Structures are given as C-alpha cells and as structure tokens.
Amino acid sequence: MTARGSLAAIATIVCAMYGCAAQAGEDDASDEAPAESLDLTVDSLDVVHGALRISATMVDGAADVSVRLGGECERRDVGGGMSTLSTLVWALADTDVADAIRCGLAVRARVREGARTVNKVAELGVNVDANAESQSADDGPQLQTAATSEAGIGLVFAPVTRSARLTTGDSILEAAPRESEDEDPAIDGAASFVVPFLDFARSVLRGRPLGLEGSSFATSLSVQGVSLRSDPAPVDAVSIESDPQGPDEPEEPGDPP
C-alpha cells in the first residue's frame, strides 16, 4: 500500500469513529475572521500505516480544524484527521511531512463565539535529527551538524574520504561542492551533504537509516519539541482500536468444561 493510500485508510477509519473535520475552503468568509492564538500542545508522534500521526490537546478548540503549511510557505492544506473541542489527531503522508520539515505547520480552528467566527491559530515548528546507530564504527564518520536549507537537510560529517557517498534509500548523494577552490575539505576530513526533504521524510517514516562509509544514521523529527516515538505503533493499531466486535463474551456459569 502506498503512503497516500495508507493515509486514506487512516482517515477513513478515523472519520468512521469520530467524524472528520471540515475541509478548509468550505466557508471562505471565515478566512477573513479575526485571528487569535490557539492553545495547543502536541502530546505524541508516531508512525501508522507509513504516515506520521500527530496527537495533540487543545484548550477551547473546535471540531472545525484545518492543518496547513506554516512559515512563509503557501498556506496549503496537508494531511487529514479529526478533532473535537479538546483533541486533535492528524496524519501526514511522506510528501506532506517533507513540506512540513521545510515550512513548519499551522493548525487553525474555527471557533464560534456568539454570532461571530474566530480563527484560532497555533504555529508548530518541525525539527529534524540524525544519530549514529550502535553498529556504526567508532572511528567512522560522525555527524557534526544538521540544518535546514532551501534545498533540503544539510548534514556535515567528519571524517570522510573525498569519494564518500551518502545513501538515503532513494538516492546516492555526492558531497556538496566546496565554496571556493582554495577550500580543501580533506584538511579536517569533513564533507557536507544535502538530503532532499522527501528523502529525509521517507527515511523517517520507513525507518531506513542514512548510510555513509559503513556507518548508519537513524533519522528522526520532532514537532513542537515532541520527538517521534522510537517504537512505531503497530500497523494495525487503528484497526484494533476501532474493532466493532468488542471483547469475547464470557462463558455462562455452569457451562460444561
């Protein structure tokens, strides 16, 4: 099942259980409503059916919620899920996670206060990280810095050779060009690689570490300071929670053994 198909499956199950939040654009007039701060706390992140699931708590929120890209990016809706006045559960596919890493997220709740509609907005920062796995060689490359750029996630490793290549599962990347011909990365043995946002998102969601000269680096991310769980939820976790059959019926007293 593709990530997009998995996301649709999650949304279908969630909608059946709770009802979906209305899609943005259904009430264009409400976009012009006054904006206030939304008190929202991210409780947990996990991966379900190949999608990033964000669980959060809201104070004075709404069932009418949309999640969009934040920062200076186009305010495009991403993912899908459900909300109540106090809770939010939202799932993002790999392409949406890639855009969220680049832009951040903005959660908007349309709240009715008397005769008017108020837009309450919470901006959520998304940060990334990578750590050497236990089987990596102690004398192998070590991650020095990780930073987001316009082109992707810039990772600096040392020491590495001139011919080093970084593998992401989707791409084989060469080191970024030196800023000047006078700069010699072999002096300190450092090299910089730019990982495309989508490659990094898929590495996180699929649990595929980055590889460099025999060393592996597990990727992760955090939203509003809450890190992705290291033990992803079982792929059928949502189906178990929504099992309509319920527990097995107990045996009647006096039944023969």
Q: Best-predicted range by mean pLDDT among 9-13, 129-133, 250-254?
A: 129-133
What confidence tier does 256 reach under pLDDT thresholds 50, 70, 90? low
Would you state the pLDDT for residue 175? 93
By C-alpha distance, which of 189, 150, 153 is closest to 168? 153
On the CB side of 186, CA atoms within 13 Å amount to 6
Alpha carbon distance 128, 103 (integer Å) = 12
Name the residue with higher pLDDT: 120 or 4. 120
DSSP states along 85-144:
SSEEEEEE-HHHHHHHHHH-EEEEEEEEETTEEEEEEEEE-EEEEEEE-TTS-TTS-EEE
Which helix (DSSP H) or strand (DSSP E) does residue 201 occupy? helix 197-206
Question: Is residue 34 exposed (0-12), middle (13-18) or buried (19+ Cβ within 10 Å)?
Answer: exposed
pLDDT for res 32: 53
Q: Is the pLDDT of residue 159 over 60?
A: yes
pLDDT of residue 13: 44
Q: Where are the domains of the chain?
A: 3-124, 127-227
Q: For residue 235, what pLDDT is reported?
A: 39
| pTM of the predicted protein model | 0.74
Across 12-16, 57-61, 192-196, 226-230, least confident range: 12-16
Averaged pLDDT, 170-177: 92
Mean pLDDT value across residues 240-253: 43
Predicted pLDDT of residue 59: 93
CA distances from 167 to 27, 176, 194, 200, 214 (A): 45, 14, 11, 11, 11
Q: Is a pLDDT exceeding 60 seen at residue 82?
A: yes
Decide if pLDDT at 22 tops 80. Answer: no
**Average confidence score pLDDT of the chain:** 80
For residues 172 and 130, the answer to whether their CB atoms sit within 8 Å is no
| Number of Cβ atoms within 10 Å of the Cβ of 150 | 7
d(CA 105, CA 40): 12
> 17 or 189: whose pLDDT is higher?
189
**Class for the domain spanning 3-124:** mainly beta
Average pLDDT over residues 89-107: 97
pLDDT at 105: 97
Q: Report the pLDDT value the prediction gives residue 10, as an integer from 0 to 100.
A: 53
